[in-house]
Amino acid sequence: MTLSRRALLGAAAILATPSLSRAQGQARLLVVGGGFGGASAAAFARRRYPELAVTLVEPKTRFVTCPYGNLVIGGVRQMGDITHGYDGLRAKGVRVVHDWATGIDAAAKRVRLQGGETLEYDRLILSPGIALRWGAIEGYDEAAAERLPHAWVPGDGAQTLLLRRQLEEMPDGGVVGLAIPGNPFRCPPGPYERISMIAGYLKRHKPRSKILALDAKDAFSKQGLFQDGWNALYPGMIEWVPANRDGRVTRVDAAERVLETEFGTRHKVEVANVIPPQSAARIAIEAGLTDQSGWVPVNPVTFESRAAPGIHVVGDANIPGPMPKSGYIANSTAKQAVASAVASLRGEAPPQALYYNTCYSHVGEDYGISIVGIFRPNAEGTAIVEVPNSGGVSPRGDLPEQRRLEATYADSWYESITKDMFA
């Protein structure tokens, strides 16, 4: 025996330091919400920190993604292609509880479930998604959405399929109207990809039809690229009306399918897709995590709620600074949040943060465009900033090979990120 007892104890101490054992057992990470933020967090936590006990609370047994939902609406993908289950996470050792989280007790570190169970945690990752602000557009409530679908919170997929069915039932020569919200909202390029996919369907099956896109903004994500693509693929079919030309929809008449704008213009359409203004999901509001904007302010390094440190809020519910409310950002920030939560439990500083985003959009089936963004906290850790001279949108111009490749890369992104979350 050449090593002293002290050296041995020292080695044991070094090994013990990074462990996550608690007096009563494993450290407990609770994840609420099984979408892009929550499923990414749970999968990553089990992969990187196998010593952690991970529980995921999600009411639905099947998750329908928002990404690629526009391709289902356009008829080039099926609902089954965008629906995922939680067996992969179970196989990774995540305890998956299908129930609604109804309340958070931040002081006691407990989450109450509708079914009666109460879950205790050491750290909470909250990824609750968004709520639609019913009534923000006069006349647009849950009943109206059964006639004028939003198809923006997919739920079980019914809203997506309702919009699809209405397009199928519309006669050739009809007008499809869209109401598009102001910033911030889930998936900034999403409405414009939707316009593109609807236009593709109409061009193939109902070529005399038109799309009237009424927007509460004067500019939108990847605007030049989208409009180039619309001119190339769907000339004359799409009219986009910005806010400064009376594009903001303030009232709807669901029975008559009328979209009424700020200055009183009434647009009667055959199919109406109303994407209303949004906020963080209800549980975040009820837990007191949101500010007057309706979204959750977070620490740019750890993604802990400003109102309740110890609760890391990821996904579309938070205020992400210059980053978009996108699936990729939810995935990227969820991993930083988990790593920060573990560092905190170990008494360590959070890891250096870097957030990564690529959003692909389909303009046509073989015509893809993208925006890339790489972001970091500033030196003070007080704000998130985009890395200068990086990222940006696809080049403009007549570039068919670029467009074709980006459409295939979009498919690769969908396959990769959903495997990362659910495989």
Partner 1 sequence: MIRMTLAAAALAAWAGGAQAQAPLVAEGCIGCHGPNGAGAGGVPALAGRDRAELVALMAAFRANERPATIMGRVARGYTEAEIAAAADHFARLPR
Which residues are near partner 1 by CB under 8 A? 1, 3, 8, 11-12, 14-15, 18, 44, 48, 328, 331-332, 335-336, 339, 351-356, 358, 370, 372-374, 387, 389-392, 394, 402, 405-406, 408-409, 411-413, 415-417, 419-420, 423
Evaluated on CA atoms 120, 121, 124, 127, the torsion sign reads negative
**Angstrom distance (rounded) from CA 36 to CA 82:** 13
Cβ nearer to partner 1, comparing 5 with 116: 5
**Cβ at position 156, least distance to partner 1 in Å:** 26
**Cβ at position 395, least distance to partner 1 in Å:** 10
**Cβ at position 326, least distance to partner 1 in Å:** 11
Cβ nearer to partner 1, comparing 134 with 356: 356
**Angstrom distance (rounded) from CA 352 to CA 371:** 24
Cβ nearer to partner 1, comparing 158 with 374: 374
Which residues face 312 on adjacent strands? 125, 304
Cβ nearer to partner 1, comparing 106 with 405: 405
Q: How would DSSP label each residue in 3-29?
A: S-HHHHHHHHHHHHTT--EETTEE-EE
Cβ nearer to partner 1, comparing 102 with 223: 223
The phi and psi torsions of 80 (rounded to 5 degrees) equal -60, -30
**Cβ at position 390, least distance to partner 1 in Å:** 4
Cβ nearer to partner 1, comparing 8 with 108: 8
**Cβ at position 360, least distance to partner 1 in Å:** 9
Cβ nearer to partner 1, comparing 161 with 374: 374
**Angstrom distance (rounded) from CA 235 to CA 269:** 20
Cβ nearer to partner 1, comparing 27 with 308: 27
Place of tokens 């769907």: 234
Cβ nearer to partner 1, comparing 110 with 404: 404
Place of tokens 């905190």: 344
Task: Write the Ramachandran bin of 107: left for phi over 0, alpha for psi from -120 to 50, otherwise beta.
Answer: alpha
**Angstrom distance (rounded) from CA 211 to CA 284:** 36
Give the strands of the sheet with 210-215, arranged side by side. Answer: 238-241, 210-215, 175-180, 271-274
**Cβ at position 158, least distance to partner 1 in Å:** 28
**Cβ at position 367, least distance to partner 1 in Å:** 13
**Angstrom distance (rounded) from CA 339 to CA 352:** 10
**Angstrom distance (rounded) from CA 202 to CA 212:** 13
Q: Burial of 46 by CB count in 10 Å (0-12 exposed, 13-18 middle, 19+ buried)?
A: buried
Helix (H, G, I), strand (E, B) or coil at 352: coil
**Cβ at position 87, least distance to partner 1 in Å:** 16
**Cβ at position 405, least distance to partner 1 in Å:** 5
Contact between 265 and 253 (Cβ < 8 Å): no
Place of tokens 């709807």: 252
Element containing residue 80 per DSSP (H, E): none
